[in-house]
Chains A and B, each alone.
With several copies, the nearest count.
Chain A
Amino acid sequence: MSDALDTLYREVILDHYKNPRGKKKLDHADVKNEGKNPVCGDEIEVEVEFDGDTVKDLSVSCAGCAISVASGSMLYEVIKGKSFDEVRKIAKVVKAMLKGEEYDADGIDLGDLDVLEGVRQFPVRIKCALLSWVTLVDAIEKADTNESSKLSTTE
């Protein structure tokens, strides 16, 4: 098939799709979040276990297309062990990359994520690639706000 298509469905993406990483259940999840893409019916569940403000472990279970599953799988690989701030930074870079905006990835290990650049040419699919990221960041923000509200009540 065409070159454009090959930049969307890179080898790496198909590999992540067929063998998604992080598809497991955590024993000690601190937060759980569900995301869905109403337009296409894709659904995702993200579990996160914290260690302070670091993502100690996480799980990503996605029922969806190759792009959303692969994006979630790559997310798992990159995010595990990162601090909240790093997660936010990486998510921002991924968003910018997908939307074709400028971004600064200095000092960030993107792993396989740069292959998502190919999605840019297929605007309807950007949402697929973003699903896991939005769901994760949302989970972390929830946890973070709970944390700080807890702090303010114990003071």
Chain B
Amino acid sequence: MSTLMQHKKTNPVIDPESIRRDFPILNRTVNGNQLVYLDNAATTQKPQIVIDELARYYSEYNSNVHRGIHTLADEATQAYEKARQKVANFIGAPKTEQIIFTRGATESINLVAYAWGRKNIGKGDRIVLTQMEHHANLVPWVALAKETGAELEYIPIDEQGCLDLDDIGEIISRNTKLVSVTQMSNVLGTINPVEKTIEIAHDRGAIALVDAAQSVPHMPVDVKSMDADFVAFSAHKMLGPTGIGILYGKEELLSGMEPFNYGGEMINEVRYDFADWAALPHKFEAGTPNIAGVVAFSPALDYLRNIGMANVRQHEIELTGYTLDRLSSLGSIRIFGPMNPELRGGAISFIDNDVHPHDLAQLLDQSGVAIRAGHHCAQPLHRLLGIGSTARASFYIYNTKEEIDQLIDALKEARRYFGHE
């Protein structure tokens, strides 16, 4: 065990045992064993207060928002807008109007690709991504490049799985219009120096999007000091309901953009041959939104705020360090991404020399241990690493070292089952 871990062990920043009591699903058994949920990079579990708010919404104040005078409509609208305020506070957005609710990080990025990208990126322009992007921050740009004739360029990764910034001055060239970078890789765990890439992007006259789907849930993020032009993330990866994403954008950019989806609630005036748009943020929220999802995101944000994002981060550094140590000690495991837990988040991808990731996931499930196997929506990165798929364990506030021990035991057991000691 590393020194860092020994130090932290005596001084736990959060108490997962008491947190666990707030998550009803953690009492569940899977194949006769208590669930050990280590698939948090895919989606996190929900505390009772989030489930309760959903039920309360539908039992007490369900109504369509924004256009209603009656009491239910007023209550629903206020709760909906209060959630927007909480999101703005959570990420340090100067104004609530800069927070747009979408279906998920994926739609947030597509919104930018359609409403900003298709107007501002043309033939010969460059879009800069990194080699470790999730399909959500890759395929929209591949499609845009194909449509417009723009070129894609990738910031490479080094042996450790960190961005190699040596040539970044050339990669982010003068004809670069957009730099879009994940703040934390969902495969390698790597935390990227987005401030630096944003600064260079701005210096070149490009705008910068941050895929924060794995960072906002796991560490303190301040969009203002980061100076990102757009930031995308998902509620379901941070204790919130499914079907809610956030797009933060700089006000002058959002104001200057045409809408993405068109319909009710996003207009100012409509005639049979003309339409103009509502002010921010409504311009980008056409149709009835996922109201229940938004209002039940509020208690999730409260919950994380109470714990403190710095503490969330610290807890995951500890768990990650512990897991890296224990996985390494197995001998048969190859780990991807940085080995220093300070440089990475708690999504750890690995392969076993003898048991394929799918078989690992299947065998671990028998012990109640839920991990993910596959390419984790990062096929190009996997091809680059020379492998078809990895197994991935990923953590959140309710995970414990005991659960990591169970993971390790289950991995050993899986190897034994396949005839390897």
Contacts and interface: CB of A to CB of B under 8 A. Distances in A.
Direct touching of A and B (C-beta under 8 Å) = yes
Interface of A: 1-2, 5, 8-9, 14, 18, 36, 38-43, 63-67, 122-125, 128
Q: Which 3 A-B pairs have the closest CB atoms?
A: A41-B388, A65-B358, A41-B389
Contact of B74 (A18, A64, A67, A124): A124
Interface stretch (B62-70, B88-96, B207-215): B62-70
Contacts of B331: none
Given A123-B78, A125-B362, A41 B31 contact: no
Given A2-B31, A42-B358, 11 more contacts: A5-B366, A9-B418, A14-B418, A40-B357, A40-B388, A41-B374, A42-B389, A63-B388, A66-B418, A67-B359, A124-B73
Contact of B68 (A14, A63, A124): A124
Given A1-B366, A2-B366, A41 B417 contact: no
Contacts of B268: 38
B269 interface: yes
A128 B267 contact: no
A125 B413 CA distance: 20
Contacts of A1: 363, 366-367, 413, 417
A65 B359 contact: yes
Contacts of B374: 39-41
A36 B363 contact: no
B373 interface: yes
A3 to B, nearest CB: 10
A144 B374 CA distance: 34
21 contacts: A1-B413, A1-B417, A5-B363, A5-B417, A9-B418, A39-B66, A40-B358, A40-B373, A40-B375, A41-B389, A42-B388, A63-B388, A64-B356, A65-B356, A65-B359, A66-B356, A67-B359, A123-B74, A123-B78, A124-B74, A125-B358
Given A1-B417, A123-B78, A38 B269 contact: yes
A41 B74 contact: no
Contacts of B278: 38
A151 B66 CA distance: 44
A44 B358 CA distance: 16
B379 interface: yes
Chain A binding surface, main DSSP class: mixed
Most interface-central of A1, A8, A42 (chain B CB within 10 A): A1
Given A2-B366, A64-B388, A66-B418, A36 B269 contact: yes
Contacts, number: 73
- Assign chain B's interface to a size class: 35 or more
A18 B355 CA distance: 10
B382 interface: yes
B419 interface: yes
Contacts of B356: 64-66
Contact of B382 (A41, A64, A66, A124): A41
Nearest to A38: B268
Contact of B69 (A2, A5, A43, A124): A124
A40 B389 contact: yes
A42 B359 CA distance: 12
A17 to B, nearest CB: 8
Nearest to B356: A65
A57 B43 CA distance: 47
A115 to B, nearest CB: 16
A39 B376 CA distance: 9
Contact of A66 (B74, B359, B379, B387): B359
Interface in B235-292: 267-269, 278
Contact of A128 (B358, B363, B388, B418): B358
Interface in B360-409: 362-363, 366-367, 373-375, 379, 382, 387-389
Nearest to B389: A41
A125 B32 CA distance: 21
Interface in B47-99: 66-69, 73-74, 77-78
A52 B67 CA distance: 41
Contacts of A8: 362
Contacts of A63: 388
A39 B135 CA distance: 13
Contacts of A122: 362
A5 B357 CA distance: 16
